Structure formats: C-alpha cells, structure tokens
Amino acid sequence: MTRILIFLLFSQFSISQIYEIGATLGGSNFIGDVGGSTFINPAGVIKSDSVRNGLMTYGLTLKWNRSPRHSYRFSILSSQLSAFDVESNDPRRQERGLSFESDLFELSMGMEFTFLDFNLHKPGIKFTPYIYSGLVYSSYDKQLFQNNNISKVDGKSNSFGIPLTLGFKYRVLNQLILSAEFGARYMFTDNIDGSFSNDENMSNFGNINNNDWYMLSLVNISYTFGRKPCYCNYN
C-alpha cells in the first residue's frame, strides 16, 4: 500500500512541471579597482597580447518551469576575468599600469520571472523579457598586490554574490528556446583583483568602500522536456 501511495504521489508531481537544459556561451568583463569602468564590454578593448576576458565564457543551465511566469534556475559557468589599466579612460589608472588575469568558476541558483506568460504548451509565438536573481558562488585565482604589481599566487579565493540579470527569450522551435541576457554580479568581496587583502603584511590600493563586480553577456539555447504541466494553482 505504501509503495502504491508513493507511486501515485510521484506520478502526480511528475506531470506538474516541465524542464529545460541549455548550453550557454558569451563574454565577461570586470568592474573593480583595476581596468576600465565600462559595464557592458564583454570582449574588452584589445590592447594586449593576453587572452582577452569574454572570449572563453561557457556553461550549462538547468530550469524547472514552475509556472508560465516563474522558473527555478541553476547554472554552472566557466570564464576568464582580466583587467588592464591601460584600457581605462582614467589617466591615473593608465599611468599606474596595473593588470591581472584570473580563471573564474561560478555556481548560480535562483528564480527567473517573465514579464509575459510563457506557457510552452499553448500554440503560437512565444517570447518574453525576463529578470533573474538569486545567489552566486564564485571561485577565482588568488591575487596579491606587492612591489607595485598584482601577482597570481597558488590557491583559489572564493566569494558569494548576488546576480542581477535582464534577458529576452524566444521559442524558435517546438522544444527549443533561444535567449540572450546581460547579468551583473555584485560580489561580497573587494579582492578579486588583489586590491584589498586581510593580510597585514600586504599593501592595499583602490577604493576600499566599493566591492567588485563582474558582468556576463550571454546567449543560451535550451531544450525543453517533461510532461504537460498543470499551472492551475498559479494562474
């Protein structure tokens, strides 16, 4: 009897949802105490022979579309962050000439809200703007400021942050969705670029009252699957 009840509950749950799995590709740029201050600049201004930030951002996204207006979302991203003072519009930073590069790994989870109903089980063209927020966990190369230079050292640093994302998605085929989004990550640290260390033996620079940000400009294509959902409790 217990097995029958569990089976019935699971069956009821399984028909009340639809899922998405998607591949993400795009660019990134850093906003902090090093480099430029242009918020949307995924490829950077190429003035260096180094691997540019924004050219190697990719990841995987999973969604549970709980209603036509909101989804639970989880994503994994890998990127490269870099910043170069010579690319800044601030003459003081250009003269200072600092730079850094870092590999970035991000886990993000939260909720996505659409401005329009996005019920994939109804016929017709489906598109909508959306917003996304939640919590991110980021891991990046540890940087130290010493001898007037930023140096990458062994080990990783990590921090939590808040994603602030605005996007637009469109159903291109029956089970394929194409989306584009711009997301800002406000981090609970000021040390991605090595500008603020808790080590008393290390020097600090920049504005200690402002935390670091990084930006993601992404496109995503996802495949939807799962049985036809019942959205009756959310209309």
Q: Does pLDDT of 6 surpass 70? A: no
- The C-alpha atoms of residue 185 and residue 86 are separated, in whole angstroms, by 24
Name the residue type at position 146. Answer: Q
Question: Cβ contacts of residue 95 below 8 Å, gap of 6+?
Answer: none
pTM: 0.81
Residue pLDDT, tens place only, 181-225: 999 999 999 999 888 776 666 677 777 788 999 999 999 999 998
Closest CA to 214 of 110, 114, 80, 84: 80
Residue pLDDT, tens place only, 127-146: 999 999 999 999 999 998 88
Closest CA to 58 of 103, 20, 111: 103
Q: What are phi and psi of 179, to 5 degrees?
A: -135, 155
Could you tell me the fold of the domain covering 18-234? Porin (2.40.160)
Amino acid 90: pLDDT: 87
Amino acid 54: pLDDT: 44
Average pLDDT over residues 29-34: 90
Q: Does pLDDT of 2 surpass 70? A: no
- The C-alpha atoms of residue 171 and residue 104 are separated, in whole angstroms, by 30
Residue pair 221/164 in contact (Cβ under 8 Å)? The answer is: no
